[in-house]
């Protein structure tokens, strides 16, 4: 008899579970509360402009890697891609600009022009990038393969002192004040980000493993949805799951908010972990480990506010990502910013009408502050969003002179917007309170309840809660991992292709 699987949520993990489930002979159905696929991997159109709330760095573009193979299986690759020439760029108010090029000759020249006194440190930086790229450390570290990890061990030992640093401590080694500021902000303008993550990005960019999928996040998600539907899968949109039905400690189905009940042999949740455990399962399947996972995350949330602008200005000559240092701190809502990070989509013509450009500015902010505003006074919340956009446009105008008169459309998205569309418990931030795991290896032990819950049979997590990683590839891979596990239980030989 064909076994059935219900999946809650059509994010990366949910759709990947659906695709591998269909390939392996299961009858799968995805219940999605939103009207479109992709979850966090989302973009939308406004007056001819595409606003992408997700992709900065898309890993797995290079044929031959295991991640490329998975995207291929999921119908996401091959597709039209754009090669980017830089990791990011930083500009100072007095007109200095550091572009962190993937081309190392060009990078070295840029840095030496900016600060000849930092020659030794600049050479070290280039050398570290080379070590990382030569051994394909990015691929080895994310694969979790013991063999690949062993092969990079000697190089890891040689650079271990550097790998332990964060961006701030690395930046402090430069003597030039602008470079000290700039280096600290090369990863999402976050000085606490790990340095080795920056090297992984460089290695990915240099080898063309990181590129930009033309059209942005929604087109990417739609290609995976297309593969799933072609395999006979079913997605039911506008179908919010309220409860997971349990009988004798076995998950047996779901109840939607409209009261309808649906049954299957296994239930997989791609939804927010806290909501699944505490609300859909009434907090009945928890031990100390799971309770700790459910503890709230820090209040300060990255990518908490996105300001999207459609501008009547050609951005094709601009870097893809630009951090603007501010001459003095700027207070927006309850937060003070010393820099702002922008994404400038001039490299992809499909993102704006001809000759025009799309800009995204992402700001960290306090979850509690925006939640209170949203729930206490909706008018004030809307006004605050408008003020944020005005402040951001003023800041941009200092760098892009005249841009404030070129703005044609504005959209502001907060953590509350994410919750409205995706039902999370801290905006998009669906991570358990535990250590990050950069590898994509299979989790067979489940000792730490990454993907199951204590005392509950037939139930699995996929997506960010299961992987503890905010990455498209890791979360799609979590869907593959769970179907492989279910196949193992059922004595089915797992297949990755129909
Ligand atoms: C701002 C931002 C930038 C990012 N940049 C990058 C990047 O550059 N590169 C990269 O690799 N990754 C990036 N990521 C991370 C990546 O997008 C996510 O890790 C990944 O998309 C999450 O997939 P997921 O499987 O956890 O599902 P999610 O995207 O979390 O989807 C879960 C789905 O479940 C649905 N759902 C929730 N509750 C219910 C319910 N009760 N009933 C029915 N459906 C429900 C939601 O609507 C949603 O569709 C970024 C993420 C964000 C937010």
CA distance 117 to 107: 16
Structure tokens at 163: 């790998």
Please give the distance, rounded to the nearest whole angstrom, from the Cα atom of residue 40 to the centre of ligand 1.
3
Sequence-ordered strand ranges (E) for 264-334: 266-269, 300-311, 321-332
Angle at 33 between CA 30 and CA 39, to 5 degrees: 80
303 lines ligand 1 (CB under 6 A): yes
Diameter over CA atoms, the chain: 72
Question: Which of helix, strand or coil describes residue 156?
Answer: helix
For ligand 1, atom 46: residue with the closest CA: 422
Question: Which of helix, strand or coil describes residue 35?
Answer: coil
Q: b vs e for 19-39, b when ≥16 Cβ sit within 10 Å of the residue's Cβ? A: bbbbbbebbbbbbbbbebbbb
475 lines ligand 1 (CB under 6 A): yes
Residue 186 DSSP one-character state: T
Query: Pocket of ligand 1, candidates 12, 40, 460: which has the most ligand atoms within 8 Å of its Cβ, to mutate?
Result: 40
Cα–Cα distances (Å) from 8 to 362, 422, 428, in that order, read 29, 11, 16
Alpha helices per DSSP H over 95-250: 104-114, 119-134, 137-143, 146-158, 160-163, 167-171, 177-184, 195-206, 217-230
197 lines ligand 1 (CB under 6 A): no
Please give the distance, rounded to the nearest whole angstrom, from the Cα atom of residue 38 to the centre of ligand 1.
7
- The model's pTM is 0.96
For residue 421, which atom of ligand 1 is closest to its CA? 47
Which residue's structure tokens are 């409205």?
A: 420
Please give the distance, rounded to the nearest whole angstrom, from the Cα atom of residue 428 to the centre of ligand 1.
7
31 lines ligand 1 (CB under 6 A): yes
Please give the distance, rounded to the nearest whole angstrom, from the Cα atom of residue 1 to the centre of ligand 1.
33
CA distance 192 to 178: 18
CA distance 181 to 192: 13
Cα–Cα distances (Å) from 297 to 163, 195, 278, 431, in that order, read 25, 22, 15, 8
Phi, psi (5° rounding) for residue 16? -65, -40
Please give the distance, rounded to the nearest whole angstrom, from the Cα atom of residue 165 to the centre of ligand 1.
28
What domains can be seen in the chain, in order of their start residue? 4-43+219-296+429-490 (3.50.50.60), 97-206 (no CATH), 300-421 (no CATH)
For ligand 1, atom 23: residue with the closest CA: 12
For residue 38, which atom of ligand 1 is closest to its CA? 49
Alpha helices per DSSP H over 378-460: 378-399, 415-422
pLDDT tens, residue order, the chain (498 aa): 779 999 999 999 999 999 999 999 999 999 999 999 999 999 999 999 999 999 999 999 999 888 999 999 999 999 999 999 999 999 999 999 999 999 999 999 999 999 999 999 999 999 999 988 887 777 777 776 777 777 777 877 888 889 889 999 999 999 999 999 999 999 999 999 999 889 989 999 999 999 999 999 999 999 999 999 999 999 999 999 999 999 999 999 999 999 999 999 999 999 999 999 999 999 999 999 999 999 999 999 999 999 999 999 999 999 999 999 999 999 988 899 999 999 999 999 999 999 999 999 999 999 999 999 999 999 999 999 999 999 999 999 999 999 999 999 999 999 999 999 999 999 999 999 887 777 777 666 666 778 999 999 999 999 999 988 889 999 999 999 999 999 999 999 999 998
């Amino acid at each position: 008899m064909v076994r059935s699987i219900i999946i809650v949520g059509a994010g990366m993990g949910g759709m990947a579970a659906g695709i591998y489930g269909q390939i392996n002979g299961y009858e799968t159905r995805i219940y999605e509360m939103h009207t479109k696929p992709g979850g966090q991997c989302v973009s939308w159109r406004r007056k001819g402009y595409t606003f992408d709330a997700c992709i900065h760095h898309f890993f797995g573009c290079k044929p031959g890697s295991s991640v490329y193979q998975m995207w291929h299986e999921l119908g996401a690759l091959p597709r039209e891609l754009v090669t980017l020439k830089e990791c990011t760029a930083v500009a100072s108010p007095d007109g200095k600009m550091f572009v962190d090029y993937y081309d190392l000759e060009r990078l070295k020249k840029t840095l030496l022009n900016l600060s000849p006194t930092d020659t030794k440190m600049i050479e070290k930086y280039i050398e570290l990038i080379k070590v990382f790229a030569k051994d394909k450390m990015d691929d080895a570290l994310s694969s979790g393969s013991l063999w690949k990890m062993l092969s990079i061990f000697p190089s890891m030992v040689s650079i271990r002192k550097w790998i332990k640093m964060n961006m701030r401590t690395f930046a402090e080694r430069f003597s030039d004040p602008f470079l000290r500021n700039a280096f600290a902000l090369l990863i999402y303008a976050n000085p606490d980000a790990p340095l080795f993550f920056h090297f992984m990005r460089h290695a990915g960019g240099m080898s063309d493993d990181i590129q930009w999928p033309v059209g942005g996040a929604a087109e990417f998600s739609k290609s995976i949805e297309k593969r799933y539907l072609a395999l006979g899968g079913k997605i039911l949109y506008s179908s919010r799951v309220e409860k997971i039905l349990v009988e004798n400690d076995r998950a047996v189905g779901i109840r939607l908010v409209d009261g309808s009940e649906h049954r299957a042999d296994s239930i997989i949740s791609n939804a927010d972990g806290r909501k699944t455990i505490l609300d859909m399962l009434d907090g009945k399947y928890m031990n100390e480990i799971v309770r700790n996972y459910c503890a709230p995350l820090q209040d300060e949330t990255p990518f908490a506010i996105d300001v999207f602008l459609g501008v009547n200005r050609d951005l094709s000559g601009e870097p893809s990502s630009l951090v603007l240092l501010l001459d003095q701190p700027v207070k927006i809502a309850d937060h003070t910013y010393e820099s702002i990070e922008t994404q400038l989509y001039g490299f992809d013509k499909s993102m704006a009408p001809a000759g025009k450009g799309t800009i995204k500015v992402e700001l960290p902010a306090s979850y509690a502050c925006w939640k209170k505003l949203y729930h206490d006074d909706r008018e004030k919340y809307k006004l605050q969003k408008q003020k944020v956009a005005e402040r951001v446009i003023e800041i941009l105008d200092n760098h892009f002179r005249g841009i404030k008169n070129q703005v044609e459309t504005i959209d502001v998205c907060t953590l509350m917007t994410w919750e409205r569309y995706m039902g999370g418990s801290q905006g998009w931030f669906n991570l358990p309170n535990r250590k990050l795991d950069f590898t994509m290896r299979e989790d067979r032990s489940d000792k730490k309840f990454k993907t199951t819950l204590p005392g509950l049979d037939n139930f699995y997590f996929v997506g960010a809660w299961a992987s503890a990683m905010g990455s498209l590839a890791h979360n799609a891979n979590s869907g593959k991992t769970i179907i492989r596990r279910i196949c193992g239980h059922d004595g089915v030989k797992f297949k990755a292709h129909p």
